[in-house]
Each structure stands twice: as structure tokens, then as C-alpha cells.
A and B are shown apart, each in its own frame.
Chain A
Amino acid sequence: GNSVTQMEGPVTLSEEAFLTINCTYTATGYPSLFWYVQYPGEGLQLLLKATKADDKGSNKGFEATYRKETTSFHLEKGSVQVSDSAVYFCALARGSTLGRLYFGRGTQLTVWP
């Protein structure tokens, strides 16, 4: 079946620290991979995506590389800010399900000044 496993939180960092949130997936075929973010009081929104192996998605200083050999899509940022405090969700989609996403449990990130 299709599933996503992401590291459990909460993750607490100081401003300007390096961030990694691990995500691995199980899927048949060739899924697309996504990171969604939920800021306090807001709905989930797409942060970045990658649709094929070795693609790198990037946005707002965040990056994630689609690694087929390790079935991973780890989220990284070189220098976090207080405003990055949010819940981050890794997700995958299969083409045949036309937009249906399978989500991980989410990882709470808190950044202190």
C-alpha cells in the first residue's frame, strides 16, 4: 500500500540552526512527493514538491530531494527563523488516484529567538 512515515516531533531549534525533518515513503510505482506546512491558525498549504526521482523541490529556503534508492524526501533548511514555526506534513500522491494525497503524521517545529 501507500504510506508516509515522518520523524516524530516536536522539534525545537534556535534561530539560524539547521533543520532536517526526515520522511520516508512506501508506494508502488512512481509517486509524486510533497511537503505541506500548517502555520498557527491557518490551513495547510503546499510548501514544495517533486514529481520524479532526483528532483529537488525548493521554496522559502526549504529544500527536499526525491531519493528513490532510499525512498526518502527529507526536508531541510540551512537557517531557520522564528516565522518557520509550524507543523510540517510529508505526503505522496499516486497518479491513478488523481490528486488524493497520503499524509504523514506531521512534525511540529518550534523555533526560538
Chain B
Amino acid sequence: GAGVSQSPSNKVTEKGKDVELRCDPISGHTALYWYRQRLGQGLEFLIYFQGNSAPDKSGLPSDRFSAERTGESVSTLTIQRTQQEDSAVYLCASSLHAGRNTGELFFGEGSRLTVL
């Protein structure tokens, strides 16, 4: 597609359930990022994939969070045993390459997760 696509756009779940969030990056973009935005907060880095390199998982807040990416295409962010503090908008972004200081990330519209 023309832009980064995320699904679902909205997800309401019960505490303790697992959720999966999907991201389709722009075709040909080798780098993919997940960020989280909690209400009233800035964007919090979660994880970054670059080609076939090992992902940078340094932003994942706990071992309940994991993410996968198949080659240079779709990525899935999984949150196990969700907690209320996981409620946030989860943003995916991609870029053509992770060159130094490019900063030109292309964002999806986000997946809004609400944990009851």
C-alpha cells in the first residue's frame, strides 16, 4: 500500500488476555519500529528491526512484550497477559534505511489498545 498500515485500529480486551497487533510497512522499507504512546505521554520506543540484523529490543517494558518480523515485511507485536497499564496507542513506523540521523520515519495511524 501507499503507507504504513496497522490493524486493528482499536482493540478492547480484558486484563490477562493476550493481544496481537499487526503492522504492514511501506514496501521496500528495510527498517521497522514500534512505539507506544500512553495518554499524556510522549512516544516511547519499544523495538526496532533492520533487515536481517538482530532486533533492538531494548525498549520492551517487560517479557510479556514480544515482536516478530518476517523478512522485510509484516511485523506483529504481541502482548501476553495484558495489564491495565498496557493501555496505549501502539504506533508502527518504517523507513527506507536506518542511516545515521535520517529521522525520516513513516508512521501508521496506530492501534489503540484498551485493557479493562
Q: Which residues of A contact B (CB under 8 A)?
A: 4, 31-32, 34, 36, 41-46, 49, 51, 89, 91, 93-95, 97-106
CB-contact partner of B101 in A4, A32, A41, under 8 A: A32
Check A43 against B107 for contact (C-beta < 8 Å).
yes
Check B107 against A98 for contact (C-beta < 8 Å).
no
CB-contact partner of B4 in A31, A43, A93, A105, under 8 A: A43
* 16 extra A-B contacts, CB within 8 A, seeds A94-B101, A98-B98, A99-B103: A32-B101, A32-B103, A43-B3, A43-B108, A49-B103, A49-B104, A91-B103, A95-B100, A98-B48, A98-B100, A99-B31, A99-B105, A100-B33, A102-B45, A105-B41, A105-B42
Q: Which residues of B contact A (CB under 8 A)?
A: 3-4, 31, 33, 35, 40-43, 45, 48, 50, 56, 91, 93, 95, 98-110
